[in-house]
Every structure is written in C-alpha cells, then in structure tokens.
C-alpha cells in the first residue's frame, strides 16, 4: 500500500519530501475527541510512526497505563525503525487483520485516483463495523517547502537540474482536495455515505516554536545533505525559503483537507 509507513522528513533516496500533517491530526483528535473516542481499549491502525506517537502521547503524558494498542502498517517484513513508545507495534501489511481495528488514521501521499481508492478499500477492510477513519491530505506545509528548496539547491550543485525541478511539496496531492474527489473516493471504497465529514484545516506554528523548528530542520538537513561549508549552497536556499515562508504567514503554515468517515455496520445495512 503506497502511503503506509513512509517517513517524510529524511530524503535519503527520494528527491521529494512530503507532509503527513501531524499537527493537524493533533488538532482534529482534540476537536472531535468525543466523536472519535480514542480510549485505552481502542485498536488503532496508522500509516506512519508520527501518527502512532501522536495517538499515544496524551496517554503517556497522563501517566495512565491504559493505552490504546497501536499498529503501524509497514511495507516490509523487517521494519528498520523502532517505535517511540510501548504498545506501538510495527506490522507487515500482509499480516493486518480484517475488521480488527476500531480506528484508522491515514495520510494521502499520492495523486493516483486508482491507488488512493485501493488504499481506502484497505482501510475499510481493516476497520470494525462502526469503526472510524481519519484521513489527512496535506495541501501546504511550510516546513516541507523549506526543506525541499534546500534539497533542490543541493541537487543543482551536483548537476541534477532535472531532478531538482520535480520537488514541489504536496502539489500533486493538493489536486485531490478539489471538487469533492477524496469524499467520492471514500464512498466508492464502501465507507458510509452521509457519514463522511470533510474539513479544511490550518495550523500555524508561531513564536518560540518557529525557531525550534528551524534548528531541527537545519540539523536534519546537515545530517542528510552534509554541512554547507561555503554558506552559499543549500543553507542559503534554506535561509531564503525560511524567511519567505515566515514573512508571508507570520510563522510556519500547514494546510490540509481532513475527512472523518465511518464503516457501515452490516447488521443494520
């Protein structure tokens, strides 16, 4: 499945970094806490480790030992990353059980309608009747655009002009958020019509958190791209992109379309 267990922040072999929208997931889980109803008895399937950590975080912070069982579906039999907390299990896709999970938290990172519908069918297949799916499709992420500008500059320095031109953040996925496309794909994947809520959400990081994000981004880029000794390569592109984004938005902007859907209960269908 294309969008399961893919981490967006480490461009080791990829020339494009995309967003999964973790800050918006946090906002949604808070805003719809009663409807989504995550409890220690929940069984949660996620598409990436960041979502899994976000689900477990408030339970760990509260000090309770009653924590949801969280599974991160992976594309490999031997995942190479360890969960941040206990009760987060990395599990190969081919071992995911049907009608097992009370909640599925997913992100969209493809603009291929056929692939996205296939992914949604898998989410539906894995959910219990009356189970809840939260799907996030990022449209803009200042952090991603800053990082991608830096990677593009590095590629240009290495003579990879053609590769550098394809780095465009979440532009492809953004097309799916128009004209009710994602809602239609969810309905065609057998999610209950009339039980799909479509939301447009923004999250603006401001104040001290902006500087913290900048330090973290630059450290990750230095680890991945190497130190820019001259200060005229990727680090200059980084500073220019950072200045442009924060000047335009007053901070770091994240925008996404969010869909909350429910699986049919066959007993009452």
Q: Is the pLDDT of residue 35 over 70?
A: yes
Q: Is the pLDDT of residue 166 over 50?
A: no
pLDDT digits (tens, 9 = 90+) for 10-26: 333 334 456 778 999 99
Q: Is the pLDDT of residue 170 over 60?
A: no
CA–CA distance, 241 with 105 (Å, rounded to integer): 31
pLDDT digits (tens, 9 = 90+) for 208-242: 999 999 999 999 888 888 888 888 888 998 999 99
pLDDT of residue 1: 47
- Phi-psi map region of 169: left, alpha, beta (phi>0 left; psi -120 to 50 alpha): left
CA 62 to chain centroid, in Å, comes to 24
CATH number of 22-140+170-203+252-268: 3.40.50.150
Average pLDDT over residues 104-110: 89
Average pLDDT over residues 43-63: 91
Average pLDDT over residues 107-125: 89
Reference 161, options 153, 171, 169, 173; nearest CA is 153
In whole numbers, what is the pLDDT of the chain averaged over residues? 83
Helix residue spans in 63-188 (DSSP H): 113-126, 142-157, 161-164, 171-174, 181-188
Q: Is the pLDDT of residue 9 over 70?
A: no
CA–CA distance, 142 with 207 (Å, rounded to integer): 15
Q: Is the pLDDT of residue 76 over 70?
A: no
CA–CA distance, 108 with 4 (Å, rounded to integer): 9
pLDDT of residue 110: 78
pLDDT of residue 81: 57
Domain boundaries, the chain: 22-140+170-203+252-268
For strand 197-205 and strand 43-46, is the pairing parallel, antiparallel, or unpaired?
unpaired
CA–CA distance, 186 with 119 (Å, rounded to integer): 10
pLDDT digits (tens, 9 = 90+) for 41-50: 999 999 888 9
pLDDT of residue 117: 92
Q: Summarize the chain as % helix, strand, coil (round to 5).
A: 45, 20, 35
């Amino acid at each position: 499945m294309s969008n399961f267990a893919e981490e967006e922040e480490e461009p080791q072999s990829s020339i494009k970094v995309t967003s999964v929208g973790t800050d918006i997931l946090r906002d949604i889980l808070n805003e719809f806490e009663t409807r989504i109803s995550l409890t220690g008895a929940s069984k949660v399937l996620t598409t990436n480790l960041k979502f899994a950590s976000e689900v477990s975080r408030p339970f760990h912070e509260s000090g309770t030992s009653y924590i949801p069982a969280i599974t991160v579906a992976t594309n490999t039999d031997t995942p190479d990353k360890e969960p941040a907390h206990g009760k987060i299990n990395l599990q190969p896709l081919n071992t995911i059980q049907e009608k097992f999970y009370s909640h599925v938290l997913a992100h969209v990172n493809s603009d291929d309608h056929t692939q996205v519908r296939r992914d949604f069918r898998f989410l539906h297949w894995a959910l219990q009747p009356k189970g809840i799916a939260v799907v996030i499709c990022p449209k803009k992420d200042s952090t991603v655009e800053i990082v991608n500008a830096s990677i593009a500059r590095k590629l240009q320095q290495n003579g990879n002009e053609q590769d550098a031109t394809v780095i465009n953040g979440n532009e492809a996925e953004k097309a799916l958020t128009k004209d009710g496309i994602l809602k239609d794909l969810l309905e065609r994947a057998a999610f209950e019509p009339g039980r799909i809520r479509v939301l447009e959400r923004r999250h603006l990081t401001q104040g001290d958190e902006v500087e913290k994000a900048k330090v973290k981004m630059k450290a990750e880029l230095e680890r991945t791209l190497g130190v820019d000794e001259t200060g005229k390569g990727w680090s200059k592109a980084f500073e220019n992109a950072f200045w442009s984004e924060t000047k335009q938005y007053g901070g770091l902007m994240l925008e996404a379309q969010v869909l909350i859907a429910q699986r049919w209960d066959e007993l009452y269908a």
